[in-house]
A and B are shown apart, each in its own frame.
Chain A
Amino acid sequence: MIPTEWFLVLSAILFAIGVCGVLTRRNGITIFMSIELMINAVNLTFVAYARLFGDLHGVMFVFFIMAIAAAEAAVGLAIFISLFHHRASIDVDEANLMHW
């Protein structure tokens, strides 16, 4: 059996990659993909702990997180389409109408 620590380290690495992606990428869709990566890293953590503890609470949590991520994706992509209508680009650096 693969030790739980391996899953946890993997999910921590995935989460860190996701955070780096959000901070460095400028394309809206890529940023959103990085956020999805973070959320899936969380799912992996939950499942790993649930397996370790042998209870279903963590697994149940994952189902809800997947639903949340799907709902967020639907709204998020609509926002990007609207952004594209306004600027013919989804580069988030171009969304800079407001700053002090």
Chain B
Amino acid sequence: MIQPLLEAGWMNAILPELVLVGGGLLLLMIEGFSPKTSRSISGPLAVILLIAATWAQNFTVGGTFFGNTYQISGITRVFDLTFLLAGILATLFAREYLEREGIDSGEFYALLLWGTVGMMMMAKGLDLLIVILGLEILSICIFVLLGYHRRLPVSNEASLKYFLMGAFATGFILYGTALFYGATRSTHVDGLRQYFLTADGSNPILTVAFVLLVAGFGFKLALAPFHPWAPDVYQGAPTPVAAWLSVAPKAATLIALIRLFDAMAPVFQRTQWMLMLAAMAVLSMIIGNAVAIVQRDLKRMLAYSGIAHVGYMMIALLTVRDESVAAVAIYAITYALMNIGAFGVVSMLGKNQNDPQTLDDIAGLGFRRPFFGLAMALCMFSLAGLPPTAGFISKFYIFKTAIESGHTTVAFIGILMSIVSVYYYLRVVYYLYMKEAADGVPVPVSGVFATGALAISMIGILLIGIFPTPLFQMAGNAARELLRQ
């Protein structure tokens, strides 16, 4: 039977994506015809477009589209909101950062919007083809954004490192997909699920394919032992881009992996594959937290802490259940709020961007810029997982689901490691309030957009931390919907 390629209502289904793609083109047109106008309006316009895309979520209808390759459901909406939130926060911080560095122009925001579209495709793709296309749209935008501060050698170096590593990882993902196609005759999640219901997992090609795929996605997630690019890339990248990169692509990769692992669930019980994932999660938590302790560069410290946080999220994915998917979704939202907030404060330090932004640069910030200091301290408390912040409740939920799934040892290591992490997060707070600023350290310039973004993340962190129930119910319902079909 020949199905129509475009089902009824496809336009509504991808309305958020259409808004962002069209908006990106609009930004480029403005930049092309009137660079002067572009410099003044493209930042606010990008925020408006991202909010419009969020609003457009109301018009999307659940279901599968484009020949059963594109699924809109509750969980994709939750992850879409995470991507859009990350985009809005990064855009707000970028506006004043780019202005200060004198590199403000429309294409920056256009690339950010298109990268968001790539992530939405990764979250909604039922076929590995769609996931890989989304991943590549995202990656190519990231390559350019990382090198956006063209005059800075470190920015160029970050772009180079991410490009070589990213393209290398893409090769692994593609080869893994090709071998899955050979073994299962399908690259569709449903096809894989059908196959894995009966497969005993003894086919060596399948194991090779799985390892290649996990290695490739591990690169994108900065999961140990595929993490070494992360600190260098975050350090060299324009800080708002590092903020966005440290959160949104990880969330997109995780939702793609959730679908994949869900389809593979029967094989996980018969093979050692899960053990490999558990080992990677444990390694990430240990390496991330241990190396973060010795970092004095704030961006490198946040990079290693990011490696550890991906480790926490992987614990929940060892067994894909309703609760674990919901836990990862909530963790992704929380992580977006607190990590972009922390990077945002770093982006406002008015220092030469070619030099490392170290702990000494935020010494005494709590008194020189009380609002920035407060925001940074709250983000650090949340990253450390201290109550009453969102970081506490989402970390608690992750470990709770892991223990309920029977991964007690891994969860225990995770709890132990998050206690270790308190040391280096609180060291930042110590520098904020207990140290005097050295002579010649510039006072960060405050701006409306960055202040607004920090307010959003602080309110979000406290709101989720104190009233978590509505969000948990929403994510839980969305996760049940994902796994039922």
Contacts and interface: CB of A to CB of B under 8 A. Distances in A.
Interface residues of B, number: 42
Contacts of B154: 97-98
Interface residues of A, number: 42
A42 B170 CA distance: 11
Interface string A54-97: 01011011001100100110011001101100110000100101
Contacts of A58: 178, 181
A99 B236 CA distance: 11
Contacts of B232: 98-99
Interface string B277-292: 0000000000000010
A8 interface: yes
A53 B185 CA distance: 7
Contact of B181 (A32, A41, A49, A80): A49
B67 to A, nearest CB: 11
A99 B181 CA distance: 39
Contact of B129 (A8, A38, A64, A83): A64
A6 interface: no
A75 B160 contact: no
Contacts of B181: 46, 49, 57-58, 61
B136 A68 contact: yes
Interface stretch (B139-147, B341-349, B442-450): B139-147
Given A42-B175, A46-B181, A83-B156, A61 B147 contact: no
Contact of A38 (B161, B175, B185, B187): B175
Given A83-B156, A95-B160, A76 B167 contact: yes
Interface in B157-187: 157-161, 163-164, 167-168, 170-171, 174-175, 177-179, 181-182, 185-187
Given A72-B136, A99-B232, A86 B171 contact: no
A55 B181 CA distance: 11
B164 A82 contact: no
B167 A32 contact: yes
B300 A79 contact: no
B167 A72 contact: yes
A8 B154 CA distance: 41
Given A8-B182, A49-B182, A61-B129, A98 B236 contact: yes
A95 B174 contact: no
A42 B167 contact: no
Contacts, number: 113
B16 interface: no
B235 A92 contact: no
A55 B235 CA distance: 46
A64 B159 contact: no
Given A61-B187, A79-B156, A92 B164 contact: yes
A17 interface: no
A49 B178 contact: yes
B175 A45 contact: yes
B178 A18 contact: no
A95 B232 CA distance: 11
Output the residue of B133, B158, B179, B181 with the most chain A CB within 10 A: B181
B452 interface: no
B12 interface: no
Contact of B179 (A45, A53, A80): A45
Contact of B187 (A22, A57, A72, A76): A57
Nearest to B296: A100
B178 A100 contact: no
Contacts of A55: 185
Given A42-B177, A72-B136, 8 more contacts: A38-B168, A38-B171, A45-B175, A46-B181, A49-B181, A79-B147, A95-B160, A98-B231
Interface of A: 8, 15, 18-19, 22, 28, 31-32, 35, 38-39, 41-42, 45-46, 49, 52-53, 55, 57-58, 60-61, 64-65, 68, 71-72, 75-76, 79-80, 82-83, 86-87, 92, 95, 97-100
